[in-house]
Amino acid sequence: MNDEHRYRSLRRLVLACMILVPAVPFIAALVIGYSHFTSALETGTIASMKRIVADHRHMLETFLDERRADLELIAASYTFEELAWPRSIQEVFRDLQTGSNAFVDLGVFNEAGVHMAYFGPYQLTGKVYREAAWFQEVMKRGWYVSDIFLGYRNVPHFVIAVVGEDESGRWVLRATVDSNLFNDLVKKVRIGRTGEAYIVNRNGLFQTERRSGGELMRSDPGMAEHVRRHPGIRTFIDKDPQGVEHLYATTWLEEKDWMLVVRQEKADAFKALRTTVYLVVLILLAGGTGIVLTAFVLTSRIVRRMERMDVEKDRLGEQLIRATRLAELGEMSAGFAHEINNPLQIIKSEQALIDTILDELRERGDLPASPDLEELRDSMEQISLQIERCSKITQAILKFGRESEPVTKDIDLLSFIPEVASMVEKKASVHGITLEEELEPNLPRIHGDPAQLQQVLLNLFNNAVDAVIARHGALGGIILVGARSRGDGQVAVTVQDNGCGISPDDLDKVFSPFFTTKPVGKGTGLGLSVCYGIVNSMGGTMEVDSEPGKGTTFTIILPAMSAPAGKAGTTVRDDGQGCEALSAA
């Protein structure tokens, strides 16, 4: 009876845990994912609208600049007397129309503002514009693009005027822009179902018609509090007088007090969010149902298994100890295979796929030969070499402690060390670390396995980078690699950093297998022990000197050959057999 009650309580507890434990991260993942997707969607929508506004503003400014340039060319090509003849201005206007049909009329004014000659659909010759705002502005600035106004013709329009000057004095050439053409130019922006574009002046008056309603020279009530000059493009969400929320993007034309407004209903701009909400709810329901059903099934199995475990308690105790040991070894082996071999195979497959695609593109002629292509192919070959290097270090770790014959060659440290240092130079510079070299001239060669020596140096470089970042962050880090002859038939290679250093208690254990001072998940504790074994197999020794808060110096002492580098023997550079070391203590 007691056991039955205990199992019932245990069943409820396990069931609650089986539901809550996966449900909490599941719901959290959904909420975080929805939040990030929403943020990305809003950012993308706003960025798209800003891009459209910027392109549209550039198009409108180009249109106005070209029309002004047309008039300035005429003013520079003709005298006032030539343009004041009706037939002459008529011919000039027709020539102007052949280049652009943006103008509907053309007129010339003397310095007193009298309309001396005119060609167009209205009777404006002889009219006096001395007090007109546009005339005063153009005489002051030399050119002027007016706001929409009625004028003598009593029809909403705007003009572009420029000042000409010759022996007769200053005079003005003015042309009226086709309002319909300009309106169509502004309104042709289409964003979704409700997107529209229009222009208002500094007083909030419509300078072009709005597709959803808005007459020329009338006030835009929805923009009253937003009509103030600002740099760049401004985006905001606001309600129109009908209470409908819109996403707005506004920008001012550079040389004109006109504000381009592009707006879209918020529901239309972010309609993808509704689909996302439905999808999140569906996933929540399906996932919740799956979690609950799985929890019931697993709970029943767990409880039944625990009942059998009570019966076989003594026998399973011994098996549990053995299983724990095997699990530890299995976890270690699986970690190596998962963290190193699987990603290497994926990288190798992706690299082969890229090579295949590049070859196909080159054969089809879609990718013509160029220095950049050759550089890309060299990079792909380098990737392949580095994959092989990493495969080799994987085998070296798995075979740690077993003796194997290295491939030894003569190594010129004067060229070898800079090549290895260049492999971590980019990583160091990204973190603000200065990588310096002090290599003694005429340094004797050494004899050893270039791949294994590269592994040792890369491991020391990476450890130094981690230590410097831990102390200095992204500013003030220095790593110094040096090489010198000791005068006793040996060569010393040093890697020195000004990082956080190693405590005295840990200094004696840095070369021990599986010892690491790095956080969980960042180091296996094998790097320096493997390096120590490599250096020892090359007939050398490895030393460390460190002071907490000041830095660490690793010294590799190797037997030197008799001939200095650059004289006799064969110089060995990077032969593609090196490999990047794992994180170490």
User: pLDDT (tens digit, 9 = 90+) per residue, 167-188?
Assistant: 889 999 999 999 889 999 998 8
- Average pLDDT for 72-85: 92
- Work out the average pLDDT over 315-339: 52
Q: What is the mean pLDDT of residues 420-434?
A: 86
Q: How confident is the model at residue 222 (pLDDT cuts 50, 70, 90)?
A: confident
pLDDT of residue 494: 94
Share of the chain above pLDDT 70, in %: 85
Does position 109 have pLDDT exceeding 50, yes or no?
yes
Q: Answer yes or no: is pLDDT of 413 > 70.
A: yes
Contact yes or no for 290/271 (Cβ under 8 A): no
What secondary structure does DSSP assign to 329-352, as a single string? HHHHHHHHIIIIIHHHHHHHHHHH
The pLDDT score that the predictor gives to residue 524 is 55
Residue 585 pLDDT grade (very low, low, confident, very high; cuts 50, 70, 90): very low
Average pLDDT over residues 436-460: 90
DSSP letter at 102?
-
Q: What is the mean pLDDT of residues 72-94?
A: 92
DSSP code string of 233-255: EEEEEEE-TTS-EEEEEEEE-TT
Number of CB atoms found within 10 A of residue 274's CB: 10
CA 461/CA 500 separation, integer angstroms: 14
- Rounded distance, CA 401 to CA 41, Å? 54
pLDDT-wise least confident of 125-129, 396-400, 556-560:
396-400
Mean residue pLDDT across the chain: 83
Is 574's pLDDT higher than 50?
no
DSSP class of 538: T
> What is the per-residue DSSP string for 110-139?
-TT-BEEEEESSS--TT-B-TT-HHHHHHH
- How many whole angstroms separate alpha carbon 422 and alpha carbon 429? 11
Residue 291's pLDDT is what? 86
pLDDT beyond 60 at 326: no
Residue 81 and residue 168 in contact, taking contact as beta carbons nearer than 8 Å: yes
Query: Could you write out the three-class secondary structure of 503-514?
Result: CHHHHCCCCCCC
Beta carbons within 8 Å of 559's beta carbon, 6+ residues apart:
446, 447, 489, 490, 491, 538, 539, 540
Amino acid 403: pLDDT? 45
For 100-104, 220-224, 356-360, 516-520, which range has the lowest pLDDT when averaged over its residues? 516-520
Mean pLDDT of 81-101: 89
Residue 228 has φ and ψ, to the nearest 5°, of -145, 140
Q: Is the pLDDT of residue 345 over 60?
A: yes
**pLDDT tens digit sequence for 510-541:** 887 766 776 655 555 567 888 888 899 888 99
Q: Which residues contact 137 (CB under 8 A, 6 or more apart)?
A: 144, 146
What pLDDT does 234 receive? Answer: 93
Q: Looking at 118-127, 256-265, 343-352, which range is the least confident one? A: 343-352
Mean pLDDT of 546-550: 89
pLDDT at 325: 54
Q: Residue 315's pLDDT is what?
A: 54
The answer to whether the predicted template modeling score (pTM) of the entire model surpasses 0.95 is no
Share of the chain above pLDDT 90, in %: 34
pLDDT for residue 406: 61
Lowest mean pLDDT among 44-48, 184-188, 231-235, 334-338: 334-338
**Is the model's pLDDT at 226 over the cut of 50?**
yes
pLDDT in tens, 33-77: 878 888 888 888 899 899 999 999 999 999 999 999 999 999 999
Q: Are 22 and 224 in contact (CB under 8 A)?
A: no
**Average pLDDT score over residue span 211-217:** 86
Is it the case that residue 399 has pLDDT exceeding 70? no
Give the residue, 235 or 405, on which the prediction is more confident: 235
Contacts of 342 (CB under 8 A, 6+ apart): none
CB atoms under 10 Å from CB of 465, counted, come to: 21
